Amino acid sequence: MMDAGLPLLEVTDLATHFHTQRGLLRAVDGVSFSVRRGQTLGIVGESGSGKSALARTIIRILSKRHTTTTGRITFEGRDLLTVSEPDMRDIRGRDIAMVFQDPTSSLNPVKQVGVQIEEVLARHLGLRGRAAQTRAIELLTSVGMPLPQERLHQYPHQLSGGMRQRVAIAIALACEPKLLIADEPTTALDVTIQAQILDLLHRRQKAHHMAMILISHDLGVVAGYTDTVAVMYAGQIVEQASTRSLFRNCRMPYTAALMRSAPNLSDPPHTRLRAITGRPPDMVLPPPGCRFEPRCDDATDICRNRRPALSASDADGTHRYACWHPVASPGASA
């Protein structure tokens, strides 16, 4: 690859604050990470932790009037927060595409599937007529759509949820974007369809050396389909690592608690779950120290008063966590 050394996307100290009636809501609050070509970054976190706000900030689809965004989003050397709106429109859909949780919200209900795909091909690639139609069929075939030719003339409501998501993915992949942001792409789907869609995204990503940000609240999904993972809590990244290191060697009590709280298929029935007490903080008035402190079993005074910074857990600094009293690392060498 040309610039294999440089990340494709680099997000630095990004903050997105919504202006609400109750005050500033810190949906994203000082987030930094990078994604390389051909790599998948997983972002996990509970509902309201800021995952979608982060994704929407990157592709700049939040209303300017009600949000303040600070920090830097460097994509191929340009800061997406400062490029002009027309330039951003070209980047969106062509270089960076997004798939949403609810495909009905991204598809136009009154336009045929074929028309919607061909519009994207015309806008970004100048493909029209026969060529566009042929390409649309290819795209639908590549996302595993049954009877692709017939789908061109169908409307979204005539398709199942899984098929709608396939159309949304076909549109997202139409211009072979360099980065795909998939925000809970399978949360609304059944497990057997979820497995098909995740497998499809994974294969397309490998085939095109595309970078992907896969957002999910399901640690199982993230474990199976990502290279690196960032765990979000209350607008901040609290741990980030290679996927293997995170699952083998997690250091932040919240990550550990999240992993323990899900029911495990290998446990016998009626095994008591290790729930996390309470719920995430109000992001208008987050706790001053560690944001997990009110729910953390290991919290002490310092946690209440001072926010822990992300610090390295291993020698090369790829595994980082924000915690004053990290969980003991079984393979501690650093």
Partner 1 sequence: MSPAELLVVDDLSVTYALPRGRQLIAVANVSFTVHKGETLGLVGESGCGKSTISRAIMQLPPPTGGAVVFEGRNLAHLDTAALRRARTRLHMIFQDPISSLNPHRKVRDIVAEPLAIAGMGDAEDRKRRVRAALENVGLDPDQVMDRRPHEFSGGQCQRIAIARALVTEPQLVICDEPVSALDVSVRAQILNFLEDMKAHYHLTLLFISHDLAVVKNISDRVAVMYLGRLCELAPSARLYEAPLHPYTAALMAAIPVMDPDRCRSPSHLLAGELPSPMNPPSGCRFRTRCPRATPHCAAHEPEWRETEAGHFVACHFPLVAPQGATISPARQP
Ligand X SMILES: Nc1ncnc2c1ncn2[C@@H]1O[C@H](COP(=O)(O)OP(=O)(O)OP(=O)(O)O)[C@@H](O)[C@H]1O
Per rule CB under 6 A, is residue 53 in the interface with ligand SF4? no
Per rule CB under 6 A, is residue 258 in the interface with ligand SF4? no
Per rule CB under 5 A, is residue 52 in the interface with Mg ion? yes
Which of residues 296, 313, 314, 319 is near ligand SF4 by CB under 6 A? 296
How many residues of this chain interact with ligand SF4, rule: CB under 6 A? Answer: 14
Of 155 and 247, CB closest to partner 1: 247
Per rule CB under 6 A, is residue 47 in the interface with ligand X? yes
Q: Which does 191 bind (CB under 5 to 8 A by kind): ligand SF4, ligand X, partner 1, none?
A: partner 1
Per rule CB under 8 A, is residue 263 in the interface with partner 1? yes
Per rule CB under 6 A, is residue 20 in the interface with ligand X? yes
Which of residues 21, 63, 84, 192 is near partner 1 by CB under 8 A? 192
How many residues of this chain interact with partner 1, rule: CB under 8 A? Answer: 49
Per rule CB under 6 A, is residue 233 in the interface with ligand SF4? no
Per rule CB under 5 A, is residue 228 in the interface with Mg ion? no
Q: Which does 290 bind (CB under 5 to 8 A by kind): ligand X, ligand SF4, Mg ion, none?
A: ligand SF4
Of 104 and 154, CB closest to ligand X: 104
Of 38 and 48, CB closest to ligand X: 48
Question: Taking CB under 8 A as the rule, which mask of x and - marks residues 46-85 in contact with partner 1?
Answer: xx--------------------------------------
Instruction: Give every CB contact of residue 246 below 8 A, 6+ residues apart in sequence.
Output: 229, 231, 239, 240, 255, 319
Q: In whole angstroms, what is the distance from residue 212 CA to residue 257 CA? A: 26
| Segment interacting with partner 1 (CB under 8 A) among 64-72, 93-101, 130-138, 274-282 | 274-282
Which of residues 253, 314, 319, 320 is near ligand SF4 by CB under 6 A? 253
Q: Which does 266 bind (CB under 5 to 8 A by kind): ligand X, ligand SF4, partner 1, none?
A: partner 1
The token pair at 59 is 């592709």
Per rule CB under 6 A, is residue 324 in the interface with ligand SF4? yes
Written in H, E and C, the secondary structure of the chain is CCCCCCCCEEEEEEEEEEEECCEEEEEEEEEEEEECCCCEEEEECCCCCCHHHHHHHHCCCCCHHHEEEEEEEEECCEECCCCCHHHHHHHHHHCEEEECCCHHHHCCCCCCHHHHHHHHHHHHHCCCHHHHHHHHHHHHHHCCCCCHHHHCCCCHHHCCHHHHHHHHHHHHHCCCCCEEEEECCCCCCCHHHHHHHHHHHHHHHHHHCCEEEEEECCHHHHHHHCCEEEEEECCEEEEEEEHHHHHHCCCCHHHHHHHHHCCCCCCCCCCCCCCCCCCCCCCCCCCCCCCCHHHCCCCCHHHHHCCCCCEECCCCCCCEECCCCCCCCCCCCC
Q: Tell me how far CA of residue 204 lies from CA of 54, 75, 201, 244, in angstroms.
A: 24, 21, 5, 22
Looking up tokens 């692709």 gives 148
Residues 278-317 that bind partner 1 (CB under 8 A): 279
Q: In whole angstroms, what is the distance from residue 168 CA to residue 13 CA? A: 31
Per rule CB under 6 A, is residue 49 in the interface with ligand X? yes
Residues of this chain that interact with Mg ion (CB under 5 A) are 52
Residues of this chain that interact with partner 1 (CB under 8 A) are 46-47, 146, 160-163, 190-196, 198-199, 217-221, 223-225, 243-244, 247-248, 257-259, 261-277, 279
Residues of this chain that interact with ligand X (CB under 6 A) are 18, 20, 25, 27, 45, 47-53, 66, 217, 283
